[in-house]
Amino acid sequence: MIIKCIAIDDEPFALQQIKSYIEKTPFLELVALCQSAFEAMSFIANNEVDLMFVDINMPDINGMDFVKSLVNKPQIIFTTAYSEYAIEGFKVDAMDYILKPISYSVFLKAASKAKTWFDLNQKQSETLQTTQDCLFVKSDYKLVKILLSEIKYIESANEYIQIHLINDKPITTLIRLKVIEEQLPKDKFMRVHRSFIVNLERVKVIERSRIIFDQKVYIPIGDQYKDNFQAFVDKTFLV
């Protein structure tokens, strides 16, 4: 798989260095160089991008805030001179966080991690089948049909997910949450947390940034998903 990349950095030298590294890496394809988050926003809105190399300290909008603003974001590798942002970087599901000055060996290690992730996702996508009203997943060596209307929420468990149903026990399958998120209809399902996707038709009670399905199930709404979920609430609930 060839991974389509953009590099975002306000420093011309740093941008050219990442450009040279991408061009010498066989499984990466450079599709844009951007000197600001605004340039990147415009490009992403109109083009397919798999992976972004993003500097953090940039004028107007820094790289961290830029990534947080994206609803359907590509995979992220942060490139920065400041180590203090590392924890925050991984909170927004960054694939890696590499410190300047960046050697090619360090860059290649991060890029190879991305390739492994994309190869696995592609393989998992090939095993996941969806139709307008149902999906088929492999579970316990069987192919299981699941009606979309029967799903309450989907929970990530590392490399696996658990699909929680209305009137049946959860179904566990070896698929990443990101893979199934891309296959589900966007008007019916929403990612509300790094570990949860909910069926919007099953959302009945919301309390203190949590979705309550019953007395035992409280789904948290993550900070980076709040704006998108609030738009759904404003449209759906009379408040």
What is the DSSP annotation of 116-166?
HHHHHHHHHHHH-EE-SSEEEEEETTEEEEEEGGGEEEEEEETTEEEEEES
Residue-wise pLDDT tens digits, 124-177: 666 666 677 888 888 887 888 899 999 999 998 877 899 999 988 899 988 888
Which residues is 99 bridged to in the sheet?
80
Task: Kindly report the pTM of this predicted structure.
Answer: 0.64
What the chain holds in terms of domains, given with CATH numbers, is: 3-125 (3.40.50.2300), 128-236 (2.40.50.1020)
Say which residues have a Cβ less than 8 Å from residue 139's Cβ, sequence separation at least 6. 171, 172, 173
Spatial distance between the Cα atoms of 223 and 109, rounded to a whole number of angstroms: 30
Question: Can you read off the two tokens belonging to residue 5?
Answer: 């990349």
Would you call 43 helix, strand, or coil by DSSP? helix
Q: Which two tokens stand for residue 182?
A: 């891309």
Alpha-carbon separation of residue 120 from 4, 127, 151, 195 (angstroms) = 16, 11, 25, 18
Helices (H) and strands (E) in the chain, counts: 7, 16
pLDDT of residue 222: 87
Per-residue pLDDT of 189-222, as tens digits, reads 999 998 999 999 999 899 888 999 877 789 999 8
